[in-house]
Amino acid sequence: MSRLVIISNRAPSVDGASDSGGLVVALKDALSKRGGLWIGSAPAASEDPSQSIIMHERSDFDIGLFELEPQLQRDFYLGYSNSVLWPAFHGRLDLIDVQPDYIRAYREVSKRVARMVAKVIGDDDVIWIHDYQLIPLAHELKKAGLTNRIGFFLHIPLPDLQTFRAIPEWKDIAGWLASYDVIGFQAKRDVAHLIDIFRHTLNGELRFNGNMSIDGKEISLGCFPISIDVQGFAAMAAETSRKVEPPALPRLIGVDRLDYSKGLPQRLAGYEHFLESNPGYHCKVSLLQIAPPSRDDVEAYKEIRAELEAITGRINGRFGTVDWVPLHYIHRSLPRNELAALYRYSRLALVTPLFDGMNLVAKEYVAAQDSADPGVLLLSQFAGAAEEMKEALIINPHDPQGLAKAIRRGLEMPLEERRERHEALYKRLADNDVSKWSETFIKQLELPVSTPAPEAMP
C-alpha cells in the first residue's frame, strides 16, 4: 500500500499530547495502518529556519515540521490566511485587509514548503493537503516535478463567485485549486460554488460524472462532510458526567472559538430577546458561553472580543439579580472531557454561525446527549452541518425574534419529540463518523480520476 502524506498548517504534537483534536483522530488510523507522514508548521517561528523538513518519528506515524521566520510566519498566518482568505471565504469582505506583504508571504510559504516536501516524497506517496492556508501547494509541488496524486480538502466554506472575485488574487486561487486531482468540500453549497468559479475563471466544463474538465485535465470534486469520533465522544460524555454535579438551573450552552464567523453577538441578541419577552423564565435558566481566544493579534478578533464582553455586561446588568447570573462567559479552552459533560448537562445548544464550513460543536453536542432525556440543538441554516442535521431546530441567526421563539420551543419541547429528533440525528452521525470521512476521501484519491465523487453534483 502506498504511503499517505498529510500536509496542513497545524501539525499534531510530536509527543502525541494533543491527539484528541478532531483531525488527528480522523487521520491517525489511516496514517498508522499504511505508514504515514504528517507535515505541518513548527509550533514556534525561528530566526534561522531550517531549509529542510525536520523529521520526528512517533510509534504510529512520522511528523515532519517546516520552520518559518517570525515575519514570514506573521504575514502568512495572521496576514493573508486570516486577514484575507478567512474573512473573504466567510463572506466578510468588510473585514479583509489587503497588503502586498501578505500575499507575498502566502506564495513564498507554499513555494518553500514545496521545495522541502519534494525532498521527502516517494513516487508512490499519496498526498492530501488540508485547508486554505496552503492552497498553492499542489501547483508548487507539480512545478517541482512531482507526479503523485494530490488531494485537497477545504475545511471552511467556499464563497460564491461574486464574493470570491473580491479577493485580488482570485484568478490565481482558482488556478491553484485546478492543480489538484481531487477537491473535497464540507457541503454541497461549496461544490456548487467551485463549479461556478471554475466555469467562469478557467472555462471549466462540468462532465457527466460530476468532474470538471479544465484544459483537458479532469478534476474530481465532491462533498465529504467531516465528522467526529461519535462513539468515543459519547462515551467520554457519559463517563465524565457521572463525576460532576448537574447544574442547578436548566442550562443553554454555546461553545465556539471566539471568531466573528460564529454569530456570537447575534446569538446573544436572540437570548436577550428571549429574556425580554419571557419574564417567566427569569431566574429559571442560564446561558453558558465558552469562547476561547483565537488569532487574537488580528484586529477583527480584538473587536469581536470587546463586543462580546460589552454585550455580556449589558445582559447581566439588565436582567441579573443578586442570586441569578443569566449569562456566564468563559474566555478559555477547557479539557475535552469537561466540555463533553457540559454538553450532556445542557438542555439546549446554540450553534449560530453566520457562515461555517461544517461546525463540529453541533455534532459533539448531539453525540454527548443522554438518549433517554436528550437536549435540543438549535442550528444555524448557514452551518455546513445544517445540510445533514435536519432534525435540529434550524434557525436564522439574523432574526433575534425567531431565535428567541426557537429557544422557548426547545426548552418546552416534549420528551417524545426530543427523543425522536435526537435518535435520527445520532443515527446519521454514528453511520458517518470521522473515520468514514477520511476513508471515503482517501479512497477517492486513489481511484481513477473518472470515478464520480460522493455528491459530485449538488
Catalytic residues: 155, 356
* 261-296 CB burial, b ≥16 within 10 A, e <16: bbbbbbbbbbbbbbbeebeebeeebbbbbbbeebbe
| Cβ distance to ligand F6P smaller for residue 285 or 290 | 290
Residue 390: Cβ within 10 Å count:
12
* Phi, psi angles (nearest 5°) of residue 130: -115, 125
Q: Does 22 bind ligand ADP (CB under 6 A)?
A: yes
The residue within the footprint of ligand ADP, chosen from 8, 211, 312, 359 (CB under 6 A), is 359
295 binds, options ligand ADP, ligand F6P, none, Cβ within 5 to 8 A by partner type: ligand F6P
**Residue 329 Cβ vs ligand F6P, minimum distance, rounded to whole Å:** 20
Question: What contacts 454, CB < 8 A, 6 or more positions away?
Answer: 222, 223, 224, 440, 444
Interaction with ligand F6P in 288-307: which residues (CB under 6 A)? 294-295
| Cβ distance to ligand ADP smaller for residue 359 or 438 | 359
| Cβ distance to ligand ADP smaller for residue 22 or 222 | 22
The residue within the footprint of ligand ADP, chosen from 334, 393, 430, 449 (CB under 6 A), is 334
From 127, 113, 181, select the one nearest 4 (Cα to Cα).
Answer: 127
**Residue 318 Cβ vs ligand F6P, minimum distance, rounded to whole Å:** 33
Interaction with ligand ADP in 281-310: which residues (CB under 6 A)? 290, 292
287 binds, options ligand F6P, ligand ADP, none, Cβ within 5 to 8 A by partner type: none
Q: Does 356 bind ligand F6P (CB under 6 A)?
A: no
From 345, 352, 155, 382, select the one nearest 255 (Cα to Cα).
Answer: 352
From 67, 224, 60, 88, select the one nearest 152 (Cα to Cα).
Answer: 224
407 binds, options ligand ADP, ligand F6P, none, Cβ within 5 to 8 A by partner type: none
The residue within the footprint of ligand ADP, chosen from 9, 316, 333, 396 (CB under 6 A), is 333
Place of cell 467562469: 200
Count of residues that interact with ligand F6P, criterion CB under 6 A: 6
Q: CB-hemisphere CA count at 13 Å for 9?
A: 21
Q: What is the total residue count of the chain?
A: 458
What cell does 145 get? 516535478
The residue within the footprint of ligand ADP, chosen from 199, 257, 409, 436 (CB under 6 A), is 257
From 335, 321, 310, 331, select the one nearest 286 (Cα to Cα).
Answer: 321
| Cβ distance to ligand F6P smaller for residue 156 or 182 | 156
From 82, 49, 78, select the one nearest 66 (Cα to Cα).
Answer: 49
Query: Could you give the string, one character per residue 6-25, with x where binding to ligand F6P holds by CB under 6 A and - elsewhere?
Result: ----x---------------
CA distance 275 to 287: 11
CA distance 181 to 445: 7
The residue within the footprint of ligand ADP, chosen from 109, 327, 350, 358 (CB under 6 A), is 358
Q: Does 113 bind ligand F6P (CB under 6 A)?
A: no
**Residue 414 Cβ vs ligand F6P, minimum distance, rounded to whole Å:** 36
**Residue 67 Cβ vs ligand F6P, minimum distance, rounded to whole Å:** 17
DSSP H helix total and E strand total for the chain: 16, 16
**Residue 77 Cβ vs ligand F6P, minimum distance, rounded to whole Å:** 7
Interaction with ligand F6P in 134-163: which residues (CB under 6 A)? 155-156
Q: Does 9 bind ligand ADP (CB under 6 A)?
A: no
| Cβ distance to ligand F6P smaller for residue 13 or 213 | 13
Place of cell 444555524: 380
For helices 360-368 and 415-431, angle between their N-to-C axes, nearest 10 degrees: 120
* Phi, psi angles (nearest 5°) of residue 39: -110, 135
The residue within the footprint of ligand ADP, chosen from 109, 154, 158, 339 (CB under 6 A), is 339
**Residue 417 Cβ vs ligand F6P, minimum distance, rounded to whole Å:** 32
Question: What contacts 157, CB < 8 A, 6 or more positions away?
Answer: 89, 90, 91, 186, 187, 189, 190, 355, 356, 357, 384
Asked whether the beta carbons of 367 and 426 are under 8 A apart, the reply is yes
| Cβ distance to ligand ADP smaller for residue 263 or 410 | 263
Q: Which residues is 378 bridged to in the sheet?
A: 350, 393
CA distance 269 to 10: 34
| Cβ distance to ligand F6P smaller for residue 13 or 294 | 294
Asked whether the beta carbons of 388 and 428 are under 8 A apart, the reply is yes
| Cβ distance to ligand F6P smaller for residue 155 or 421 | 155
Q: Does 190 bind ligand F6P (CB under 6 A)?
A: no
The site for ligand F6P (CB under 6 A) is made up of 10, 131, 155-156, 294-295
The site for ligand ADP (CB under 6 A) is made up of 22, 255, 257, 290, 292, 333-334, 339, 358-361, 364
